[in-house]
Amino acid sequence: MDGVTIGDLDPGPLVTGAFVGLAGLLFLVQPVVPFVELGPLRLRPVALSALALAVGLWVGTVVYLARGKRLVGGAHAVGAVGWSGIVLGTATGNGAVLLGAVVLLVVGMLALAVESRRYA
C-alpha cells in the first residue's frame, strides 16, 4: 500500500508548522473574535498570532540547526528573533525594540537571499 503512515511523519517540522498554522488561524479570526481571555489577560487574537509565529520559528530554528541545515535554521532564527522583537516591542510599547525588530527582519531577509544564491 502506497501512502504516508504515522511513522513517516517527522515531528520537528510538524510542530513548527502547527505553530505557524495556529498563527495564521489566530490572524484570520481577528475580525470576528475581539479578544481571547487567558486567565486575567484579555488579548487580541492578532497579538497571540504574532506570539504563536515567534514560537513556531524558534522551534524551527532548533529543529533545523540540530540537523545541520544552516540556511533553513538561519532563516528560522532571523524570523524568530525578529518576531519576538515585534511581540516584545508591541507588548511593552517600546518603539525602539519594535523598529529594531523590523530592521532585523529586513536586513536578515536580504542577507539570507544573498546567502541562498550560493546554494542555487
Q: Residue 19 — very low, low, confident or very high, per pLDDT cuts 50/70/90?
A: very high
The one-letter amino acid at 56: G
Which tens digit of pLDDT belongs to each residue from 31-72?
A: 999 999 989 989 999 999 999 999 999 999 999 999 999 989
Nearest CA-CA partner of 114 in 78, 71, 81: 71
Handedness of CA 78, 79, 82, 85 (dihedral sign): negative
Helices (H) and strands (E) in the chain, counts: 4, 2
